[in-house]
């Protein structure tokens, strides 16, 4: 009876949007034709008779290369638009609670100074409050700083969860995070509105206020000096099961894990912490599925785990490695000037990824099968061969065997021994002479462990799915200032580019193992920062230098070839506007995305690529800077007003302001020449219109930078020192560029 019902009523459905596919493919064909015509126009220049060539060859070649690079980037992007699919799940059709598989929740925190304890503990509590059988749910918090304050905060969170979890269950609240529940104006009272509920709610709110005060007191009292900060790189392993005793209230297990870190050992950033959690959790719960969350990414929908299980409980998807949910944020302003929501990824690209084999692991909000990371082994497997792969622990090797169930909470002696073994597994030397990080677990080759691990899983034949239900499943905190945003994108750039410029480059690592379209999707993510920074530097400098010196690089307005460039521009803008509108956004989102794309290309993408190149040359070690989650009221206010906060390093401001100054000089010089100097102004306008329009478009799109340099007088304006340095750089580029190109 049960099996026939499952066949009649599927747990999930996949929908193919045929209209979107037709529009995407038609646009791709037409746009490709225009690009081919552009290439023909540029190449024909080199086959002219030398006497007919009046334009220097070098600038023509450089702008042609920039156009080819940008065209190649566009070509790679079309793979993510080839076959977008959308998925629906039916968690109400799942089997009874006692039939659901166990889940381990991994929450990673790395720096108590940048990750506020109140936010981190709200994530922990919301994970414990998931609508899932408590005996099958285990929550692990990884404290990579080894902070005693985080351990004490975790214990306080556990004490509060003993009241919060039953309260949420009893009244059927749809909000699992207490901070959101008590601060939200929305009515989330479940089916209860009586006096009993109101009284319990008031008591619970009072308990939460006490929790916040205790958390802040613990953190404030823990950092009187820099001693604790120095210990983040040198501390022993600490593993503590917060609720290992039998409790009257049945709630999920909560386990604190801090791996051993020593200055002499490479700790491999977040991937290393996740692999320690893989080993430690195997000794305590060994759940077949893992839900990974960033420390600020609380569970907004208590049913998210059940939604993921809709795929895993389907016998038709045995090769499914992970279910990826989008990253969404609760502090996105109406005018998202920094494009913190990353719309192009989570509302466009990931749907396309899903249609050709599945999306990449996206750092957080994914539920992954343990077997996909570690492999599957039977009881006849040679233990010695497994030790060579996974390390010397006999107890951990036992967990790899099918159907192994830890006996952690059966008796005190077993608990003590399990914790001792877990501490060995969390030591910094355990992975020596093993394949952890190279063949099993989360992979270490790149700081973007999510991208590289996902690539290898898909290359092995595993699949993934992208699920974006109507109700947001997880909500985090995004950056609210320019500095943190650029630092974050510099890190996000260096990871994939490291893979692109290595033997693991998708174009050479993936063929014969992955479909062509999925291969191109991975290649687009790997090469995108490099292609964008190279092409945009070309478009932002070369035409302007030539405009400054009166050298035309585009056809006259009266020339039929001018239509080629017009069509490409209109096609690109129209398609991006269409995608913005169809994803439910407004025109200002399109404007913000174009502007921040240009800004990142000359800052974050550039520095991220340089970081990779220097690392490849052995001149710089790979680094990982956690994103700052501490909010500043003044910065938040500017962000909500849609005003850029330019209080960032000169290394970010200098290239950005330099590009704007070069464009100002070129545009003003061209206008003066057309109106005052040149006798035949109309002919000059016609000849130089393409470059003048490009320069004007860059300036008007980045007016916020001009405003920050000249108009604004507040503390968040561009510092005078950065402007002066940029003036020097721009004059140098104009001088040297004019000599070389002309």
In the three-class reduction of DSSP (H, G, I as helix; E, B as strand; rest coil), residue 463 is classed as: strand
Residue 687 to residues 45, 550, 662: CA-CA distances in angstroms?
16, 9, 20
Find the catalytic residue in 111, 131, 143, 144: 144
What value, to the nearest 5°, has the Cα angle with vertex 503 and ends 501 and 507?
A: 75
**DSSP notation for 218-255:** HHHTT-SSSHHHHGGGSB--EEEETT-S--SS---EEE
Neighbours of 584 (CB within 10 A): 9
Active site residue 247: no
Paired sense of beta strands 253-258 and 328-329, if any: unpaired
Paired sense of beta strands 137-143 and 298-299, if any: unpaired
Q: Is 697 exposed, middle or buried (0-12, 13-18, 19+ CB in 10 A)?
A: middle
Q: CA 58 to CA 613: how far, in whole Å? A: 26
The C-alpha R_g of the chain, in whole angstroms, comes to 28
Crossing angle for the helix pair 482-500 and 650-672, to the nearest 10 degrees: 90
Find the catalytic residue in 131, 339, 450, 645: 450
Is there a contact between 415 and 406 (Cβ–Cβ < 8 Å)? no
Q: CA 109 to CA 8: how far, in whole Å? A: 43
Sign of CA dihedral 656, 657, 660, 666: negative
Q: How many CA atoms lie within 13 A of 617 on its CB side?
A: 8
For 396-412, b/e burial (b = at least 16 CB within 10 A) is: bbbbbeeeeebebbeee
**DSSP notation for 294-353:** ETT-EESSTTHHHHHHHHHT-TT-TTEEEEEPPPEETT--SS-TT-TT-HHIIIIIHHHH
- Comparing CA positions, the residue from 653, 660, 684 lying closest to residue 670 is 684
Q: CA 14 to CA 467: how far, in whole Å? A: 10
Residue 206 to residues 188, 203, 324, 509: CA-CA distances in angstroms?
18, 5, 36, 56
Active site residue 450: yes
In the three-class reduction of DSSP (H, G, I as helix; E, B as strand; rest coil), residue 81 is classed as: helix
Q: CA 301 to CA 312: how far, in whole Å? A: 19
Token pair of 632 as six digits: 């500043």
Binding-site annotation: residue ranges for Mn(2+): 270, 294
Chain centroid, CA 696 distance in Å: 32
Binding-site annotation: residue ranges: 114-115, 144, 270, 294
Q: CA 680 to CA 550: how far, in whole Å? A: 13
Q: How many helices (H) and strands (E) does the chain have?
A: 28, 13
Is there a contact between 84 and 306 (Cβ–Cβ < 8 Å)? no
List the catalytic residues. 144, 450
């Amino acid at each position: 009876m049960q099996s026939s019902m499952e066949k009649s009523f599927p747990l999930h459905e996949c929908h193919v949007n045929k209209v979107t596919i037709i529009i995407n493919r038609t646009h791709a064909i037409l746009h490709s034709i225009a690009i081919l015509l552009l290439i023909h126009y540029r190449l024909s220049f080199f086959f002219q008779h030398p006497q007919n060539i009046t334009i220097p060859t070098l600038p023509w070649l450089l702008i042609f290369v920039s156009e080819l690079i940008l065209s190649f980037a566009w070509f790679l992007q079309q793979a993510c638009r080839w076959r977008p699919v959308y998925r629906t799940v039916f968690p109400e059709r799942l089997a009874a609670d006692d039939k659901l598989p166990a889940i381990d929740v991994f929450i990673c925190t790395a720096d108590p100074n940048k990750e506020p304890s109140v936010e981190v503990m709200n994530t922990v509590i919301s994970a414990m409050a998931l609508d899932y059988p408590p005996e099958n749910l285990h929550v692990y918090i990884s404290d990579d700083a080894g902070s005693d304050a985080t351990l004490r905060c975790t214990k306080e969170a556990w004490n509060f969860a003993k009241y919060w979890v039953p309260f949420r269950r009893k009244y059927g609240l749809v909000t699992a995070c207490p901070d959101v529940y008590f601060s939200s104006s929305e009515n989330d009272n479940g089916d209860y509105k009586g006096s009993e509920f109101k009284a319990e709610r008031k008591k619970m709110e009072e308990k939460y206020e006490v929790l916040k005060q205790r958390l802040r007191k613990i953190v404030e009292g823990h950092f009187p000096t820099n001693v604790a900060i120095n210990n983040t790189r040198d501390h022993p392993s600490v593993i503590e099961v917060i609720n290992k005793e039998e409790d009257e209230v049945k709630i999920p297990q909560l386990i604190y894990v801090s791996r051993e870190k020593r200055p002499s050992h490479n700790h491999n950033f977040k991937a290393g912490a996740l692999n320690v959690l893989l080993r430690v959790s195997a000794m305590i719960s060994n759940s077949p599925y893992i839900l990974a969350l960033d420390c600020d990414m609380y569970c907004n929908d208590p049913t998210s785990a059940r939604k993921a299980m809709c795929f895993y409980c389907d016998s038709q998807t045995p090769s499914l490695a992970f279910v990826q949910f989008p990253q969404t944020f609760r502090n996105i302003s109406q005018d998202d000037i920094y494009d913190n929501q990353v719309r192009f990824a989570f509302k466009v690209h990931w749907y396309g990824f899903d249609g050709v084999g599945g999306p990449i692991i996206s750092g957080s909000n994914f539920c992954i099968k343990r077997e996909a990371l570690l492999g599957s082994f039977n009881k006849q497997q040679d233990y010695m061969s497994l030790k060579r792969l996974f390390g010397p622990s006999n107890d951990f090797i036992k967990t790899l065997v099918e159907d192994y169930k830890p006996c952690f909470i059966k008796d005190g002696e077993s608990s003590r021994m399990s914790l001792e073994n877990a501490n060995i597994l969390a030591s910094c030397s355990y992975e020596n002479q093993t394949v952890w990080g190279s063949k099993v677990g989360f992979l270490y080759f790149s700081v973007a462990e999510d991208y590289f691990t996902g690539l290898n899983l898909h290359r092995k034949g595993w699949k993934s799915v992208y699920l974006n239900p109507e109700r947001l499943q997880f909500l985090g905190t995004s950056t609210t200032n320019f500095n943190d945003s650029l630092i974050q994108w510099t890190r996000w750039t260096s990871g994939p580019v490291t893979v692109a410029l290595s033997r693991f480059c998708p174009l050479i690592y993936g063929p014969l193992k992955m479909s062509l379209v999925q291969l191109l999707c991975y290649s687009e993510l790997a090469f995108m920062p490099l292609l964008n920074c190279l092409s945009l530097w070309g478009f932002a400098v070369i035409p302007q230098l030539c405009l400054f010196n009166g050298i035309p690089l585009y056809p006259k307005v009266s020339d039929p070839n001018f239509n080629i460039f017009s069509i490409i521009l209109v096609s690109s803008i129209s398609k991006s506007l269409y995608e913005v509108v169809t994803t439910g956004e407004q025109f200002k989102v399109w404007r913000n995305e174009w502007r921040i794309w240009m800004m990142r290309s000359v800052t974050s993408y550039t520095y991220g690529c340089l970081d990779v190149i220097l690392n490849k040359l052995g001149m710089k070690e790979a680094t990982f800077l956690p994103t700052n989650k501490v909010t500043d009221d003044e910065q938040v206010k500017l962000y909500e007003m849609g005003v850029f906060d330019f209080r960032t390093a000169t290394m970010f401001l200098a290239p950005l302001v330099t590009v704007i100054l070069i464009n100002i000089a070129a545009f003003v010089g061209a206008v003066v020449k057309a109106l005052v100097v040149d006798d035949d102004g109309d002919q000059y306008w016609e000849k130089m219109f393409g470059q003048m329009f490009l320069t004007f478009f860059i300036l008007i799109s980045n007016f916020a930078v001009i405003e920050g340099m000249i108009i604004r007088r507040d503390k968040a304006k561009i510092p005078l020192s950065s402007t002066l340095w940029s003036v020097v750089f721009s004059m140098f580029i104009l001088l040297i560029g004019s000599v070389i190109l002309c």
